[in-house]
């Protein structure tokens, strides 16, 4: 098999459990009511442009970007704005959202809602970025960073590589894998559009070696494309992390506290590439996404294409109903996802998966004392010392934690996963990051 | 042999003498003048080094008071909350000034989301730190403004004045509170507030910080303030304001008439340490003696709600019994 590329520092290999692998993507029918949160991206929440009682069509702009790092929000259905109110989000907090009562499915004029494949794009870089911005596209891997901001290369920097992230290193999730299998040609066109927007001539599609069918398909599709290479990667978590993927593909290291553009790389998820394809060739805003609904107790783990704002309950029902033996519902993958407070929360732009954990797997083991085995240090992909950082956060010495690089933590959870004493290392690291973030903000304000 | 001893003594003695002379002049030259009053002030301060005055410790506070006394001839904007009026008076005497008497303050927990009032909807597993949990989720009862019950305030208190009640899941402030404000800073949800202790420890406050609309607030917690405005209307002293569906009682204006307590439909306004209005012989729950704090009252009402009694008047009698 030879040596496959991967990142150097740390990393783990949790059981893959890709239960829904190979299950074709099914479209979920439009629900009777959707809840569309205004803040669906990293950064500033969007500002509403419609009011209560307005009739909206599918794909109509309902909230516009509320700052530089912000994105537009479009109505995923056609119907009436029933209410603009604070609604419960994934963590149980009430945040502003649109509640739209669905009436039929009437699309906005100018949106091509067909499956016809468009291969050629003649737009310029600026036009593409404007279209991506208008379509409200954000990073679909889960971090939801607005894509148009990533595409605008700051002056003085030069993008050399576009890296398409088809790694999907999280256990259980298969949405990106299935999207590559079913929408391969579209993703390749999306990649070409992104290359054009960034004015780069080299693109690498990174795919982990546990998806040989996707690697083969993408290789076949890009055989005649100039500058696009498919790079198989060794299976290792957290390879889907931006910095880890850049290290694995280009052997470059993003400096601490800097963005990938510093080393000439821009990373986009395959889901984002597909959304960009739809936005640019078909004027279709980001109003639906593929979500993996999975879990060991679930009858029929599936990959579903759903409208943004659909309640999670509808997805679980489609995948065989809510099993009795459920201890925890996680939005996202098992490693980085967050537990959901209820099943009534909506699917948002960053929801890559819904995982239902069984009761026995849902609870945390009892914490023991640190035995100084240094396993956490060995697996940390950022080269940090989680045992030390968690200790510093626990005793409240946040200045020292900052000095030890707590802000470089990507919250992948490898340390906590591997800890034989079951210490909640990531919890303390997150606490440390929160507190240090407050310290840094206070310092810059002064 | 004797010679060697003699010479060593002579050399070392001479060295010592020269060094002493140098040190003497250096000390004279670089002498820092320190007002002796700083030491005097520090001696009367409680030396808790809690930071409640806004300065890093008691010595810096002593320096600041001395400086202010000299420059402004007034100590009005300085207060050692731990020492209170007595200590401030002593400091003023040292400087030959007089002070304004201030009403003593106490930390007040403005949440009544006990296990009974705000039943658990989700379960939290993770580190027991409020500031961590606050960033992660709304709370086990579903109220995103309410107490998380993980005890950051307890950890922050340097006076052993606050501790968690296992039955209610809420922090309890006791008599030892010095109003240093450490818990106020520690609470990520701004639930704890410093309020005037009030005459004979009597005080009235809104025990809720929920800014949701009434219907949403009451869904998560029986005793949430729904912002109905009844208290605002009944108040004769303009002490009550309502903003963001939340009532707030200004303790400077409040005259402790207790009319707002009577009209509150959700029992979210608390009266503490009042005598009962009409003694009722059939009352079952006898509160503990000497418990002059908020959360004891909290506990009693929670028992009332559990047993199905929601009579406003009766609950209030219970509250005022301690």
Q: Count of alpha carbons within 13 Å of B277, Cβ hemisphere only?
A: 14
Task: Convert the pLDDT of each residue in A32-85 to its tens digit.
Answer: 999 999 888 888 888 999 989 999 999 999 999 888 889 999 999 999 999 898
Does one domain contain both B195 and B74?
no
**What interhelical angle do B58-71 and B84-95 show, nearest 10?**
50
Residue B127 with chain A: CB contacts under 8 Å: 394, 424, 427-428, 431
Does one domain contain both B168 and B143?
yes
If one counts the domains in chain B, the total is 2
- CA dist A271 and B317 (Å) reads 62
Q: pLDDT > 70: what percent of chain B?
A: 86
Contact yes or no for B122 and A364 at CB 8 A: no
Cβ–Cβ < 8 Å for A217, A308: no
Residue B87 lies in a domain: yes
Contact yes or no for B137 and A341 at CB 8 A: yes
Residue B137 with chain A: CB contacts under 8 Å: 91-93, 339, 341
Cβ–Cβ < 8 Å for A285, A72: yes
Residue A442 with chain B: CB contacts under 8 Å: none
Where does a domain end: B64, B95, B126?
A: B95
Three-state DSSP state, B105: strand
Task: Tell me which of B130, B131, B136, B189 to substitute to probe the interface with A (most A C-beta atoms closer than 10 Å).
Answer: B136
Residue B288 lies in a domain: yes
Task: Convert the pLDDT of each residue in B205-221 to its tens digit.
Answer: 999 999 988 888 888 89
- CA dist A329 and A405 (Å) reads 32
Predicted pLDDT of residue B285: 45
What is the domain partition of chain A in residue ranges?
Answer: 25-102, 125-282, 289-360, 375-445
Does one domain contain both B206 and B304?
yes
Q: pLDDT > 90: what percent of chain B?
A: 36
Does one domain contain both B135 and B270?
yes
Task: Residue B49: give its domain's CATH number.
Answer: 1.10.15
Question: Are A125-282 and A289-360 the same fold in CATH?
Answer: no
Containing structural domain, residue B56: 36-95
Predicted pLDDT of residue B295: 39
pLDDT of B293 > 80? The answer is: no
At the top level of CATH, the class of A125-282 is: alpha beta
Contact yes or no for A434 and B137 at CB 8 A: no
Contact yes or no for B144 and A93 at CB 8 A: yes
Contact yes or no for B137 and A431 at CB 8 A: no
Residue B4 lies in a domain: no
ipTM value: 0.76
Instruction: State the fold for domain A25-102.
Output: OB fold (Dihydrolipoamide Acetyltransferase, E2P) (2.40.50)
**Phi first, then psi: what are they for A34, rounded to 5°?**
-120, 150
Chain A interface includes B142 (CB < 8 A): yes
Write the residue in A339, A363, A435 that is nearest to B131 by C-beta: A435
Does one domain contain both B76 and B225?
no
A188: Cβ–Cβ under 8 A, 6 or more apart, which residues?
A218, A221, A222, A225, A228
Does one domain contain both B77 and B124?
no
Contact yes or no for A92 and B135 at CB 8 A: no
Task: Tell me which of B123, B124, B129 to substitute to probe the interface with A (most A C-beta atoms closer than 10 Å).
Answer: B129
Residue B263 lies in a domain: yes
Nearest Cα of chain B lies from the Cα of A297 at a distance, in angstroms, of: 20
- CA dist B22 and A212 (Å) reads 83
Task: Convert the pLDDT of each residue in A269-302 to its tens digit.
Answer: 999 999 999 999 999 999 999 999 999 988 899 9
Write the residue in A86, A363, A428 that is nearest to B127 by C-beta: A428
Q: List the single residue in B with minimal CA-CA distance to A438.
A: B131
**Which one has a higher pLDDT value, B295 or A341?**
A341
pTM of the model: 0.81
Does one domain contain both B190 and B82?
no
* pLDDT band at residue B296 under the 50/70/90 scheme: very low
Does one domain contain both B214 and B300?
yes
Residue A364 with chain B: CB contacts under 8 Å: 125-126
Write the residue in B135, B138, B212 that is nearest to A92 by C-beta: B138
Task: Tell me which of B113, B122, B188 to substitute to probe the interface with A (most A C-beta atoms closer than 10 Å).
Answer: B122
Does one domain contain both B250 and B223?
yes
Where does a domain end: B75, B95, B115?
A: B95
How many residues belong to chain A?
A: 446
Q: b/e string for B308-320 if b means 16 or more Cβ within 10 A?
A: eeeeeeebbbbbb
R_g over Cα of chain B: 28
Does one domain contain both B59 and B175?
no
Does one domain contain both B222 and B193?
yes
Contact yes or no for B142 and A341 at CB 8 A: yes
Does one domain contain both B91 and B216?
no
- CA dist A64 and A50 (Å) reads 10
Write the residue in B122, B131, B216 that is nearest to A92 by C-beta: B122
Q: By C-alpha distance, which of B252, B129, B130 is closest to B191?
A: B130
The residue to which tokens 């945040």 are assigned: A95
- CA dist A246 and A267 (Å) reads 8
Instruction: State the fold for domain A289-360.
Output: Ubiquitin-like (UB roll) (3.10.20)
Task: Tell me which of A431, A432, A442 to substitute to probe the interface with B (most B C-beta atoms closer than 10 Å).
Answer: A431
Residue A339 with chain B: CB contacts under 8 Å: 122, 137
Write the residue in A93, A394, A428 that is nearest to B138 by C-beta: A93
Q: Would you give per-residue pLDDT tens digits along chain A (446 residues)?
A: 457 888 888 889 999 899 998 899 999 999 999 999 988 888 888 899 998 999 999 999 999 988 888 999 999 999 999 989 888 887 778 888 999 999 988 888 888 888 888 888 888 999 999 999 999 999 988 788 999 999 998 888 888 999 999 999 999 999 999 999 999 999 999 999 999 999 999 999 999 999 999 999 999 999 888 899 999 999 998 998 999 999 999 999 999 888 899 999 999 999 999 999 999 999 999 999 999 999 998 889 999 999 999 999 999 999 988 888 888 899 988 998 888 888 889 999 989 999 999 988 888 888 899 999 999 999 999 999 999 999 999 888 999 999 999 999 999 999 999 999 999 999 899 989 988 988 898 888 76
Residue B262 lies in a domain: yes
One-letter-per-residue 3-state SS of chain A: CCCCECCCCCCECCCCCCCCCCCCEEECCCCCEEEEECCCCCCCCCEECCCCCCEECECCEEEECCCCCCCCEECCCCEEEEEEEEEECCCCCEEEEEEEEECCCCECCCCCCCCCCCCCCCCCHHHHHHHHHHCCCECCCCCCCEHHHHHCCCCCCCCCEEEEEECCCCCCCCHHHHHHHHCHHHHHHHHHHHHHHHCCCEEEEEEECCCHHHHHHHHHHHCCCCCEEEEEECCCECCCCHHHHHHHHHCCCCCCCCCHHHHCEEEEEHHHHHHHHHHHHHCCCCCEEEEEEECCCCCCCEEEEEECCCEHHHHHHHCCCCCCCCCEEEECCCCCCEECCCCCCECCCCCCEEEEECHHHHCCCCCCCCCCCCHHHHHCCCCCCHHHHHHHHHHCCHHHHHHCCHHHCCCCCHHHHHCCCCCCHHHHHHHHHHHHHHHHHHHHHC
Contact yes or no for B137 and A427 at CB 8 A: no
Q: By C-alpha distance, which of B271, B168, B147 is closest to B210?
A: B147
Q: List the single residue in B with minimal CA-CA distance to A87.
A: B216
Residue B25 lies in a domain: no
Q: Within its chain, how far is the Cα of B41 from the centroid?
A: 24
Contact yes or no for A427 and B127 at CB 8 A: yes
Task: Tell me which of B131, B144, B215 to substitute to probe the interface with A (most A C-beta atoms closer than 10 Å).
Answer: B144
Contact yes or no for A94 and B129 at CB 8 A: no
Contact yes or no for B137 and A363 at CB 8 A: no
Please name the residues between 116 and 135 in chain B that touch chain A, using a CB distance below 8 Å.
121-122, 125-127, 129, 131-132, 135
Residue B8 lies in a domain: no
């Amino acid at each position: 098999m030879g040596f496959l590329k991967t990142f150097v520092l740390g990393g783990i290999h949790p059981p893959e459990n890709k239960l829904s692998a190979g299950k074709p993507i099914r479209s979920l029918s439009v629900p009777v009511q959707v809840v569309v949160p205004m803040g669906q991206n990293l950064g500033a929440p969007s500002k509403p442009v419609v009011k209560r009682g307005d009739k909206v069509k599918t794909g109509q702009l309902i909230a516009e970007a509320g700052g530089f790092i912000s994105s537009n929000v479009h109505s995923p259905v056609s119907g009436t704005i029933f209410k603009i109110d604070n609604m419960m989000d994934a963590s149980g907090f009430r945040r502003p959202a649109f509640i739209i009562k669905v009436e039929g499915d009437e699309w906005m004029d100018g949106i091509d809602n067909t499956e016809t494949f468009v291969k050629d794009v003649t737009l310029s870089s600026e036009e593409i970025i404007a279209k991506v911005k208008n379509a409200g596209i954000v990073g679909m891997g889960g971090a939801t960073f607005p894509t148009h901001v990533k595409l605008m290369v700051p002056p003085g920097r030069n993008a050399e590589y576009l890296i398409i992230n088809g790694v999907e290193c999280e256990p259980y999730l298969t949405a990106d894998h299935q999207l590559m299998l079913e929408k391969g040609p579209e993703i390749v066109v999306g990649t070409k559009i992104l290359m054009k927007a960034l004015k780069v001539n080299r693109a690498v599609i990174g795919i982990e070696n546990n998806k040989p069918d996707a690697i083969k398909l993408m290789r076949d599709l890009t055989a005649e494309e100039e500058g696009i290479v498919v790079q198989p990667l060794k299976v290792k978590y957290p390879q889907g992390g931006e910095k880890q993927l850049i290290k694995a593909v280009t052997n470059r290291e993003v400096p601490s506290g800097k963005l990938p553009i510093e080393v000439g790389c821009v990373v986009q998820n395959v889901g984002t590439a597909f959304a960009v394809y739809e936005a640019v060739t078909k004027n279709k805003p980001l109003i639906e996404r593929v979500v993996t609904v999975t879990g060991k107790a679930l009858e029929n783990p599936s990959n579903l294409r759903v409208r943004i704002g659909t309640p999670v309950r509808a997805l679980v029902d489609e995948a065989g109903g809510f099993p009795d033996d459920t201890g925890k519902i996680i939005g996202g993958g098992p490693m980085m996802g967050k537990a959901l407070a209820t099943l009534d929360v909506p699917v948002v732009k960053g929801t890559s998966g819904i995982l239902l954990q069984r009761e026995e797997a849902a609870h945390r083991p009892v914490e023991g004392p640190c035995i100084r085995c240094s396993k956490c240090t060995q697996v940390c992909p950022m080269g940090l010392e989680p045992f030390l950082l968690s200790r510093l956060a626990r005793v409240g010495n946040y200045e020292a934690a900052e000095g030890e690089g707590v802000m470089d933590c990507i919250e992948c959870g490898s340390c906590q996963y591997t800890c034989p004493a079951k210490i909640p290392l990531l919890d303390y690291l997150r606490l440390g990051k929160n507190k240090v973030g407050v310290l840094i903000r206070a310092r810059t304000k002064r | 042999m004797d010679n060697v001893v003699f010479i060593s003594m002579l050399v070392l003695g001479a060295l010592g003498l020269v060094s002493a002379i140098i040190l003497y002049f250096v000390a004279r030259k670089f002498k820092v003048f320190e007002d002796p009053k700083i030491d005097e002030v520090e001696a009367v301060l409680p030396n808790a080094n809690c930071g409640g005055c806004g300065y890093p410790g008691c010595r810096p506070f002593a320096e600041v008071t001395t400086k202010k006394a000299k420059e402004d001839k007034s100590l009005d904007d300085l207060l050692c909350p731990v020492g209170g009026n007595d200590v401030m008076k002593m400091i003023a005497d040292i400087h030959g000034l007089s002070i304004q008497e201030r009403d003593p303050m106490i930390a007040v927990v403005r949440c009544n989301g006990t296990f009974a009032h705000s039943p658990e909807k989700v379960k939290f597993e993770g580190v027991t730190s409020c500031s961590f949990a606050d960033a992660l989720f709304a709370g086990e009862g579903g109220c995103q403004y309410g107490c998380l019950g993980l005890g950051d305030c307890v950890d922050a208190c340097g006076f052993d004045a606050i501790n968690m009640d296992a039955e209610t899941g809420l922090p309890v402030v006791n008599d030892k509170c010095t109003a240093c404000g450490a818990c106020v800073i520690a609470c990520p949800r701004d639930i704890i507030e410093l309020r005037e202790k009030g005459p004979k420890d009597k005080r009235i406050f809104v025990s809720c910080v929920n800014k949701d609309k009434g219907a949403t607030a009451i869904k998560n917690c029986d005793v949430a303030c729904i912002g109905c405005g009844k208290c605002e209307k009944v108040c004769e002293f303009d002490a009550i304001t309502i903003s963001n569906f939340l009532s707030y009682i200004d303790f400077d204006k409040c005259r402790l008439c207790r009319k707002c307590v009577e009209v509150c439909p959700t029992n979210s306004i608390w009266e503490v340490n009042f005598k009962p209005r009409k003694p009722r012989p059939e009352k079952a729950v006898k509160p503990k003696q000497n418990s002059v704090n908020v959360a004891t009252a909290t506990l009693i009402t929670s028992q009332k709600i559990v047993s199905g009694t929601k009579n406003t008047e009766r609950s209030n009698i219970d509250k005022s019994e301690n």
